[in-house]
Chains A and B, each alone.
Chain A
Amino acid sequence: MPQVTLTVNGKSHSVEVEGRTLLVELLREKLALTGTHVGCDTSQCGACVVHVDGRSIKSCTMLAMQANGAAVTTIEGLAQADGTLHPMQEMFREHHALQCGFCTPGMVMSAIDLVNMHPDGLTEHEIREGLEGNLCRCTGYHNIVKAIAAAWPLMHNKQAPAAAA
């Protein structure tokens, strides 16, 4: 069986997998990182989003072997060691951007990448478009949009631009 070597949340792992093993299966089943979820088979729902080398990807649509040598960050790797939440996690809590919590890990990982990709500002419209790849059945999305807008200035150490307020 092939061997995949990668870093997950700063910790290095070397694991035997099948060729067909998906990254999400490696995370959930081999590394017991069950914060990353599987909500569909067709790459639409985004519950499985993690960061690979700093970019958000759907871990149900990437083979574990494709992540060989990569640095992976999952929802479990966002908070600081002392438990301090990442600003995006904190804003999700503050703005009630989650209900059942199942889509939340993927939503948070996508949201962080979205904010990272927009250093000059992020409009409500851009946020809604930027969530194209994440489905939520509980919240109606509005509080998620609010949370991301509120996290933007915290992540960029800036005042919220008028558009994102």
Chain B
Amino acid sequence: MYDFTYQKPSSIADAVKLLAEPEAKALAGGQTFIPVLKQRLNKPSTLVDLAGLGLAGIKAEGDKITIGAMTTHGAIAASPEIKKAIPGLSMMAGWIGDTQVRHCGTMGGSLANNDPSACYPAAVLALNATIVTDKRRIGADEYFQGMFTTALATDELITSIEFALPVEKSAYEKFRNPASRYAMVGVFVAKSAAGVRVAVTGASQNGVFRHTEMEQALSGNWSPDAIAHIKTPPGGLNSDIHGSAEYRAHLITVMAKRAVAAAS
């Protein structure tokens, strides 16, 4: 990795100031970003470690659960509140990477990066969560703007993610890339105040997307059978040595059915 200046600010204001400098980059859990740096695919001048901002923690209050941006996957998976209120999110968090990655990797980091094969984007989109930044609140539908692209400004920091309750049903199923174990296809299904939403990650060249045909089918009939016939067009889906676009299209239905069954 190229050398850089390491900074660990203790206030959001300081962090934002540091991030405003050209070539400054934020470091959350680092589980995706440090490997990227090691491959010399990114050359920041300053790395701003967000661990000192007090952004970790889970708060359950009446009609919502608020997850601090620096909360680790491990903490989310272990939270009894989340397990009870949004079992699909708990399931997802406990299945990202491996134990060691889950001890470090954070929800905010994953969402800010918006890797097309990351898991959280599917949960956030399906649950219609709100991304809270130091500057504003962003709805999930506006937040994701294609692979590695989000509504965030370069000096804008996610501080927390809000999930509205109650969530009636939720589940996540993924088909892992056999080598990297990232999601080759991940499908999050949810039924909440926002209606039935189905979000697919890993599959598309444009990152996470909502599967409206499945949403409609499930709105009338929450059962795997209701979506068994739905075929996703392979155009625009990823294709690589692990799976063609056709195979990924097939897996979307398979994973969606499994998720619906798990949430029934």
A–B in direct contact per CB < 8 Å: yes
B120 to chain A, nearest CB (A): 18
Contact yes or no, B5 A117, CB < 8 A: no
B103 adjacent to A55 (CB under 8 Å): yes
* Candidates A18, A61, A62, A110; contact of B99 at CB < 8 Å: A110
Q: Which of A20-62 contact B (CB under 8 A)?
A: 20, 22, 41-44, 46, 49, 55-58, 60-62
In angstroms, how far is the closest chain B Cβ from the Cβ of A1? 10
Contacts of B23-69 to chain A: CB distance below 8 A:
27, 30-31, 34-35, 37-39, 47, 49, 51
CB closest chain-A residue, reference B179: A44
With an 8 Å Cβ cutoff, the count of chain B residues facing the other chain is 28
B3 touches A61 (CB 8 A): no
A43 to B31, Cβ gap below 8 A? yes
Tell me how far the C-beta of A17 lies from the nearest C-beta in chain B, rounded to whole angstroms: 9
| Cβ–Cβ contact B2 & A20, under 8 A | yes
B8 touches A65 (CB 8 A): yes
Asked whether A18 lies within 8 Å of B35 as measured between CB atoms, the reply is no
What is the chain B residue whose CB lies nearest that of A64? B6
Q: Are A65 and B39 in contact (CB under 8 A)?
A: no
In the complex, how many angstroms separate the beta carbon of A111 from the nearest chain B beta carbon? 10
- The answer to whether A103 has its CB under 8 Å from any CB of chain B is no
Verify A114–B99 contact, CB threshold 8 A: yes
Shortest B236–chain A CB gap in Å is 27
When the two chains form the complex, which single residue of B34, B39, B103, B181 contacts A63, counting CB atoms closer than 8 Å? B34
Report whether A43 and B101 are in contact in the complex, using a CB–CB cutoff of 8 Å.
yes
Which of B8, B34, B100 is in CB contact (< 8 Å) with A49? B100
Interface string of B168-205 (1 = CB under 8 A from A): 00000000000011000000000000000000000000
Complex alpha-carbon distance, A117 and B180, angstroms: 24
A49 — which chain B residues lie within 8 A by C-beta? 100
Q: Taking chain B's interface residues, is the majority helix, strand, or loop, or is none over half, making it mixed? A: mixed
Count of A-B residue pairs with CB < 8 Å: 79
What band does the interface of chain A fall in when counting residues whose beta carbon is under 8 Å from B? 20 to 34
Q: Which of the residues A61, A65, A110 comes within 8 Å of B104, measured between beta carbons? A: A61
Contact yes or no, B100 A110, CB < 8 A: yes
Bound-complex Cα distance A134 to B38 (A): 19
- How far, in whole Å, are A62 and B27 apart by their CA atoms in the complex? 11
B98 within 8 A of A: yes
Beta-carbon contacts under 8 Å, B133-160 to A:
none
**Chain B contacts with A in 59-102, Cβ cutoff 8 A:** 74, 97-101
Q: Is A18 touching B3 in the complex (CB atoms < 8 A)?
A: yes
CA distance in complex: A137, B5 (Å): 38
Q: Measured between alpha carbons, how far is A60 from B1 in the docked complex, in Å?
A: 12
Are A61 and B34 neighbours in the complex by a CB distance under 8 Å?
A: yes
| B5 partner, pick from A19, A62, A113, beta carbons under 8 A | A19
Residues on A with C-beta less than 8 A from B97 are: 132-133
Q: Which residues of A contact B39 (CB under 8 A)?
A: 41
Residues of B within 8 A of A18 (CB): 3
**Complex Cα gap A41–B34 (Å):** 10
Whether A132 and B4, one on each chain, are in contact in the complex, defined by CB atoms closer than 8 angstroms, is no
Minimum CB–CB distance from B31 to chain A (whole Å) comes to: 6
Chain B residues near A41 (CB, 8 Å)? 35, 38-39
Binary contact readout A112-143 vs B (1 if CB under 8 angstroms, 0 otherwise)? 01100100000000000010111000000000
- Given A63-B30, A66-B30, the answer on whether A19 and B103 have CB atoms closer than 8 Å is no
When distances are taken between beta carbons in the complex, the residues of chain B under 8 Å from A43 are 31, 34-35, 101
A-B residue pairs in contact (CB < 8 Å), sample of 17? A18-B3, A19-B6, A22-B34, A41-B38, A41-B39, A43-B35, A49-B100, A55-B74, A55-B103, A56-B99, A58-B101, A58-B104, A63-B30, A63-B34, A66-B49, A133-B100, A133-B101
Top 5 A-B residue pairs of the complex, sorted by shortest distance between their CB atoms: A133-B98, A19-B6, A132-B98, A55-B103, A65-B6
Extra inter-chain contacts (7) besides given A19-B4, A46-B98, A63-B34, CB under 8 Å: A19-B3, A20-B4, A41-B39, A42-B180, A44-B181, A63-B6, A63-B47
